[in-house]
Chain A
Amino acid sequence: MDSIVSAASVIAAGLAIGLAAIGPGIGQGNAAGQAVEGIARQPEAENKIRGVLLLSLAFMEALTIYGLVVALVLLFANPFSS
Protein backbone atom coordinates (compact mmCIF):
# COMPACT_ATOMS: atom_id res chain seq x y z
CA MET A 1 0.00 0.00 0.00
CA ASP A 2 1.16 3.50 -0.78
CA SER A 3 2.40 5.13 2.42
CA ILE A 4 0.34 8.27 1.86
CA VAL A 5 -2.77 6.15 1.33
CA SER A 6 -2.13 4.12 4.46
CA ALA A 7 -1.46 7.22 6.55
CA ALA A 8 -4.64 8.86 5.28
CA SER A 9 -6.61 5.65 5.91
CA VAL A 10 -5.43 5.36 9.51
CA ILE A 11 -6.24 9.02 10.25
CA ALA A 12 -9.62 8.67 8.55
CA ALA A 13 -10.37 5.52 10.54
CA GLY A 14 -9.60 7.29 13.79
CA LEU A 15 -11.72 10.28 12.82
CA ALA A 16 -14.58 8.08 11.62
CA ILE A 17 -15.02 6.38 14.95
CA GLY A 18 -14.11 9.39 17.09
CA LEU A 19 -16.61 11.71 15.43
CA ALA A 20 -19.25 8.99 15.29
CA ALA A 21 -18.93 8.53 19.05
CA ILE A 22 -19.82 12.15 19.94
CA GLY A 23 -23.51 12.21 19.06
CA PRO A 24 -24.46 8.80 20.48
CA GLY A 25 -22.45 9.66 23.61
CA ILE A 26 -24.58 12.71 24.25
CA GLY A 27 -27.76 10.83 23.35
CA GLN A 28 -27.00 7.88 25.58
CA GLY A 29 -26.14 10.19 28.45
CA ASN A 30 -29.47 11.96 28.08
CA ALA A 31 -31.40 8.70 27.86
CA ALA A 32 -29.66 7.16 30.88
CA GLY A 33 -30.15 10.34 32.92
CA GLN A 34 -33.85 10.45 32.13
CA ALA A 35 -34.17 6.76 32.95
CA VAL A 36 -32.53 7.26 36.36
CA GLU A 37 -34.86 10.16 36.99
CA GLY A 38 -37.82 8.00 36.03
CA ILE A 39 -36.73 5.18 38.34
CA ALA A 40 -36.14 7.61 41.21
CA ARG A 41 -39.61 9.01 40.77
CA GLN A 42 -41.32 5.65 40.29
CA PRO A 43 -39.18 2.76 41.57
CA GLU A 44 -41.85 0.15 40.82
CA ALA A 45 -41.52 0.84 37.08
CA GLU A 46 -37.82 -0.07 37.13
CA ASN A 47 -38.09 -3.27 35.10
CA LYS A 48 -40.06 -1.68 32.30
CA ILE A 49 -37.75 1.34 32.17
CA ARG A 50 -34.69 -0.89 32.08
CA GLY A 51 -35.96 -2.84 29.10
CA VAL A 52 -36.82 0.24 27.08
CA LEU A 53 -33.55 1.92 28.08
CA LEU A 54 -31.43 -1.04 26.94
CA LEU A 55 -33.22 -1.19 23.61
CA SER A 56 -32.85 2.52 22.93
CA LEU A 57 -29.21 2.51 24.04
CA ALA A 58 -28.51 -0.21 21.52
CA PHE A 59 -30.14 1.87 18.80
CA MET A 60 -27.88 4.80 19.60
CA GLU A 61 -24.90 2.49 19.81
CA ALA A 62 -25.62 1.47 16.23
CA LEU A 63 -24.63 4.95 15.04
CA THR A 64 -21.13 4.56 16.44
CA ILE A 65 -21.01 1.08 15.00
CA TYR A 66 -21.58 2.49 11.51
CA GLY A 67 -18.48 4.64 12.05
CA LEU A 68 -16.66 1.54 13.23
CA VAL A 69 -17.65 -0.36 10.10
CA VAL A 70 -16.25 2.45 7.96
CA ALA A 71 -13.05 2.40 10.03
CA LEU A 72 -12.75 -1.37 9.64
CA VAL A 73 -13.23 -1.14 5.90
CA LEU A 74 -10.49 1.48 5.72
CA LEU A 75 -8.10 -0.63 7.81
CA PHE A 76 -8.74 -4.17 6.60
CA ALA A 77 -10.43 -3.97 3.21
CA ASN A 78 -9.17 -0.68 1.85
CA PRO A 79 -10.53 -0.14 -1.68
CA PHE A 80 -7.63 2.22 -2.54
CA SER A 81 -4.83 -0.11 -1.51
CA SER A 82 -3.90 -1.62 -4.87
Chain B
Amino acid sequence: MGQHISDIYSSSILMAEAEVGKHFYWDIAGFLVHGQVLLVIWFVIIILLSISFLGTSNIQQIPTGWQNFMECVLEFVTDIAKNQLGESFYKEYVAFIGTLFLFIFGCNWAGAIVPWKLIHLPEGELAAPTNDINTTVALALLTSFAYFYAGLSKKGLGYFKHYLEPIPLLLPLKILEDFTKPLSLSFRLFGNVLADEITVAVLTALVPLIIPLPIMLLGVFAGSVQALIFSTLAAAYIAEALE
Protein backbone atom coordinates (compact mmCIF):
# COMPACT_ATOMS: atom_id res chain seq x y z
CA MET B 1 0.00 0.00 0.00
CA GLY B 2 1.54 3.30 -1.00
CA GLN B 3 0.48 6.84 -0.46
CA HIS B 4 1.60 10.16 -1.78
CA ILE B 5 2.50 12.82 0.72
CA SER B 6 1.20 15.30 -1.83
CA ASP B 7 -2.24 13.65 -1.69
CA ILE B 8 -2.36 14.43 1.99
CA TYR B 9 -1.03 17.94 1.64
CA SER B 10 -2.66 18.81 -1.64
CA SER B 11 -0.77 21.62 -3.25
CA SER B 12 -0.57 22.97 -6.79
CA ILE B 13 3.05 22.48 -7.85
CA LEU B 14 5.49 20.34 -5.94
CA MET B 15 9.23 20.44 -6.44
CA ALA B 16 9.87 17.74 -3.88
CA GLU B 17 7.55 14.96 -2.98
CA ALA B 18 8.03 11.84 -0.97
CA GLU B 19 6.47 8.55 -1.89
CA VAL B 20 6.47 6.04 0.91
CA GLY B 21 5.83 2.41 0.05
CA LYS B 22 5.82 2.91 -3.71
CA HIS B 23 8.60 1.22 -5.62
CA PHE B 24 9.89 0.93 -9.16
CA TYR B 25 9.85 -2.87 -9.32
CA TRP B 26 12.24 -4.89 -11.42
CA ASP B 27 11.68 -8.59 -11.89
CA ILE B 28 15.12 -10.20 -11.83
CA ALA B 29 15.11 -14.02 -11.95
CA GLY B 30 11.84 -14.29 -10.07
CA PHE B 31 12.80 -11.77 -7.40
CA LEU B 32 11.06 -8.42 -7.14
CA VAL B 33 13.76 -5.80 -6.76
CA HIS B 34 13.37 -2.13 -5.88
CA GLY B 35 14.90 -0.61 -9.01
CA GLN B 36 15.11 2.97 -7.77
CA VAL B 37 17.29 1.88 -4.84
CA LEU B 38 19.61 -0.15 -7.07
CA LEU B 39 20.04 2.75 -9.50
CA VAL B 40 21.15 5.17 -6.79
CA ILE B 41 23.34 2.51 -5.14
CA TRP B 42 25.16 1.98 -8.43
CA PHE B 43 25.55 5.74 -8.76
CA VAL B 44 27.13 5.91 -5.29
CA ILE B 45 29.38 2.91 -5.99
CA ILE B 46 30.58 4.43 -9.25
CA ILE B 47 31.39 7.71 -7.52
CA LEU B 48 33.27 5.97 -4.68
CA LEU B 49 35.17 3.77 -7.16
CA SER B 50 36.15 6.67 -9.40
CA ILE B 51 37.33 8.79 -6.47
CA SER B 52 39.46 5.96 -5.13
CA PHE B 53 40.79 5.30 -8.64
CA LEU B 54 41.72 8.98 -9.00
CA GLY B 55 43.36 8.86 -5.58
CA THR B 56 45.49 5.80 -6.28
CA SER B 57 46.24 6.00 -10.01
CA ASN B 58 49.28 8.24 -9.72
CA ILE B 59 50.77 7.70 -6.28
CA GLN B 60 53.60 9.98 -5.27
CA GLN B 61 55.81 10.39 -2.24
CA ILE B 62 54.42 13.87 -1.59
CA PRO B 63 50.65 13.62 -2.05
CA THR B 64 48.79 16.24 -4.04
CA GLY B 65 45.20 16.68 -5.16
CA TRP B 66 43.07 13.55 -5.06
CA GLN B 67 45.71 11.45 -3.36
CA ASN B 68 45.87 13.99 -0.57
CA PHE B 69 42.10 13.93 -0.21
CA MET B 70 41.94 10.14 -0.15
CA GLU B 71 44.67 9.96 2.47
CA CYS B 72 42.63 12.31 4.65
CA VAL B 73 39.56 10.11 4.20
CA LEU B 74 41.51 6.97 5.01
CA GLU B 75 42.96 8.55 8.12
CA PHE B 76 39.50 9.57 9.31
CA VAL B 77 38.08 6.10 8.72
CA THR B 78 41.09 4.46 10.40
CA ASP B 79 40.56 6.71 13.43
CA ILE B 80 36.97 5.45 13.80
CA ALA B 81 38.19 1.86 13.88
CA LYS B 82 41.21 2.61 16.08
CA ASN B 83 39.17 4.47 18.70
CA GLN B 84 36.90 1.50 19.26
CA LEU B 85 39.08 -1.53 18.54
CA GLY B 86 42.39 -0.34 19.93
CA GLU B 87 45.88 -0.45 18.40
CA SER B 88 46.26 -4.22 18.25
CA PHE B 89 43.09 -5.28 16.43
CA TYR B 90 41.96 -2.39 14.25
CA LYS B 91 43.91 -3.22 11.08
CA GLU B 92 41.84 -6.26 10.16
CA TYR B 93 38.56 -4.36 10.38
CA VAL B 94 39.45 -1.01 8.83
CA ALA B 95 38.25 -2.26 5.45
CA PHE B 96 34.83 -3.28 6.71
CA ILE B 97 34.20 -0.26 8.90
CA GLY B 98 35.58 2.14 6.31
CA THR B 99 33.37 0.65 3.61
CA LEU B 100 30.34 0.96 5.86
CA PHE B 101 31.11 4.58 6.62
CA LEU B 102 31.86 5.63 3.05
CA PHE B 103 28.90 3.77 1.56
CA ILE B 104 26.35 5.12 4.04
CA PHE B 105 27.85 8.59 3.81
CA GLY B 106 27.70 8.45 0.02
CA CYS B 107 24.11 7.17 0.07
CA ASN B 108 22.90 9.83 2.51
CA TRP B 109 24.59 12.66 0.66
CA ALA B 110 23.49 11.37 -2.73
CA GLY B 111 19.93 11.54 -1.43
CA ALA B 112 20.35 14.95 0.18
CA ILE B 113 22.36 16.79 -2.48
CA VAL B 114 21.56 15.40 -5.94
CA PRO B 115 18.22 16.75 -7.29
CA TRP B 116 16.77 13.35 -8.17
CA LYS B 117 13.24 14.75 -8.38
CA LEU B 118 14.00 16.10 -11.85
CA ILE B 119 14.17 12.53 -13.16
CA HIS B 120 10.77 10.91 -13.36
CA LEU B 121 10.31 7.16 -12.99
CA PRO B 122 7.12 5.32 -13.95
CA GLU B 123 6.59 4.52 -10.29
CA GLY B 124 8.46 5.32 -7.10
CA GLU B 125 11.18 7.95 -7.03
CA LEU B 126 14.94 8.19 -6.86
CA ALA B 127 16.13 9.10 -3.37
CA ALA B 128 18.73 8.07 -0.82
CA PRO B 129 19.06 4.26 -0.95
CA THR B 130 19.13 4.25 2.85
CA ASN B 131 15.48 5.34 2.97
CA ASP B 132 14.59 1.77 2.02
CA ILE B 133 14.49 -0.55 5.04
CA ASN B 134 15.97 -3.41 2.96
CA THR B 135 19.24 -1.53 2.42
CA THR B 136 19.71 -0.72 6.09
CA VAL B 137 18.74 -4.21 7.25
CA ALA B 138 21.30 -5.67 4.86
CA LEU B 139 24.00 -3.41 6.29
CA ALA B 140 22.98 -4.21 9.87
CA LEU B 141 23.00 -7.97 9.21
CA LEU B 142 26.47 -7.66 7.70
CA THR B 143 27.53 -6.01 10.95
CA SER B 144 26.05 -8.92 12.91
CA PHE B 145 27.98 -11.44 10.81
CA ALA B 146 31.11 -9.35 11.25
CA TYR B 147 31.02 -9.38 15.03
CA PHE B 148 30.17 -13.07 15.19
CA TYR B 149 33.07 -13.73 12.83
CA ALA B 150 35.35 -11.57 14.96
CA GLY B 151 34.40 -13.38 18.16
CA LEU B 152 34.54 -16.88 16.69
CA SER B 153 37.84 -16.36 14.87
CA LYS B 154 39.54 -15.01 17.98
CA LYS B 155 38.16 -17.33 20.67
CA GLY B 156 36.71 -20.26 18.74
CA LEU B 157 33.65 -21.80 20.35
CA GLY B 158 34.71 -20.25 23.63
CA TYR B 159 33.14 -17.09 22.26
CA PHE B 160 29.73 -18.39 23.34
CA LYS B 161 30.90 -18.44 26.95
CA HIS B 162 30.21 -14.71 27.19
CA TYR B 163 26.49 -15.50 27.06
CA LEU B 164 26.82 -16.96 30.56
CA GLU B 165 28.83 -14.09 32.00
CA PRO B 166 28.58 -12.44 34.48
CA ILE B 167 25.73 -14.73 35.64
CA PRO B 168 23.82 -17.41 33.66
CA LEU B 169 20.54 -15.76 34.72
CA LEU B 170 21.05 -13.13 32.03
CA LEU B 171 21.20 -15.67 29.20
CA PRO B 172 17.83 -14.72 27.63
CA LEU B 173 18.77 -11.04 27.64
CA LYS B 174 22.14 -11.80 26.07
CA ILE B 175 20.47 -13.76 23.29
CA LEU B 176 17.90 -11.03 22.81
CA GLU B 177 20.72 -8.54 22.47
CA ASP B 178 21.93 -10.30 19.32
CA PHE B 179 18.56 -9.54 17.72
CA THR B 180 18.11 -6.01 19.01
CA LYS B 181 21.53 -4.90 17.80
CA PRO B 182 20.79 -5.21 14.06
CA LEU B 183 17.20 -4.08 14.66
CA SER B 184 18.21 -0.82 16.29
CA LEU B 185 21.07 -0.24 13.82
CA SER B 186 18.79 -0.61 10.80
CA PHE B 187 15.83 1.31 12.25
CA ARG B 188 18.03 4.18 13.37
CA LEU B 189 19.50 4.75 9.93
CA PHE B 190 16.27 4.11 8.04
CA GLY B 191 14.16 6.32 10.31
CA ASN B 192 16.57 9.21 10.31
CA VAL B 193 16.95 9.32 6.54
CA LEU B 194 13.25 8.84 5.81
CA ALA B 195 12.23 11.34 8.50
CA ASP B 196 14.42 13.95 6.92
CA GLU B 197 13.02 13.39 3.44
CA ILE B 198 9.45 13.52 4.71
CA THR B 199 10.12 16.73 6.65
CA VAL B 200 11.56 18.34 3.52
CA ALA B 201 8.62 17.10 1.42
CA VAL B 202 6.00 18.40 3.87
CA LEU B 203 7.72 21.78 4.24
CA THR B 204 8.08 22.07 0.47
CA ALA B 205 4.39 21.33 0.05
CA LEU B 206 3.54 24.10 2.51
CA VAL B 207 6.14 26.72 1.51
CA PRO B 208 7.99 25.89 -1.72
CA LEU B 209 10.64 28.64 -1.48
CA ILE B 210 13.67 29.16 0.83
CA ILE B 211 12.00 27.85 4.03
CA PRO B 212 12.95 24.17 3.40
CA LEU B 213 16.61 25.10 2.82
CA PRO B 214 17.75 24.98 6.49
CA ILE B 215 16.02 21.61 6.88
CA MET B 216 17.83 20.34 3.77
CA LEU B 217 21.13 21.54 5.29
CA LEU B 218 20.20 19.75 8.50
CA GLY B 219 19.63 16.65 6.36
CA VAL B 220 23.15 16.87 4.95
CA PHE B 221 24.56 17.22 8.47
CA ALA B 222 22.39 14.43 9.90
CA GLY B 223 23.39 12.16 7.01
CA SER B 224 27.07 12.45 7.86
CA VAL B 225 26.43 12.02 11.59
CA GLN B 226 24.36 8.89 10.97
CA ALA B 227 27.12 7.39 8.81
CA LEU B 228 29.61 8.12 11.60
CA ILE B 229 27.32 6.55 14.20
CA PHE B 230 26.62 3.42 12.17
CA SER B 231 30.32 2.75 11.62
CA THR B 232 31.25 3.63 15.21
CA LEU B 233 28.62 1.23 16.54
CA ALA B 234 29.72 -1.51 14.16
CA ALA B 235 33.27 -1.06 15.42
CA ALA B 236 32.07 -1.05 19.02
CA TYR B 237 30.14 -4.31 18.54
CA ILE B 238 33.18 -5.95 16.95
CA ALA B 239 35.35 -4.68 19.80
CA GLU B 240 32.90 -6.12 22.31
CA ALA B 241 33.11 -9.52 20.61
CA LEU B 242 36.92 -9.37 20.62
CA GLU B 243 37.22 -8.54 24.29
Chain B residues lying within 8 Å of A69, measured Cβ to Cβ, are: 187, 190-191
B187 touches A58 (CB 8 A): no
A72 touches B194 (CB 8 A): yes
Partner of B3, one of A59, A61, A75: A75
Given known A-B contacts A55-B228, A72-B20, A62 and B184 have beta carbons under 8 A apart: yes
Interface hits, B145-188 → A, CB 8 Å: 184, 187-188
Residue of A59, A72, A76 with highest tally of chain B CB at under 10 A: A76
Interface size class of A (residues with CB under 8 A): 10 to 19
A54 at interface, CB cutoff 8 A = yes
Q: In whole Å, how far is A67's beta carbon from the nearest beta carbon of chain B?
A: 9
Given known A-B contacts A54-B225, A59-B229, A65 and B21 have beta carbons under 8 A apart: no
Q: In whole Å, how far is B93's beta carbon from the nearest beta carbon of chain A?
A: 19
Q: In whole Å, how far is B7's beta carbon from the nearest beta carbon of chain A?
A: 12
**What are the 6 closest A-B residue pairs judged by CB atoms, nearest first?**
A65-B191, A76-B20, A62-B188, A69-B191, A76-B21, A58-B229
B-side interface residues toward A, CB under 8 Å?
A: 1-3, 20-21, 184, 187-188, 190-192, 194-195, 198, 225-226, 228-229, 232
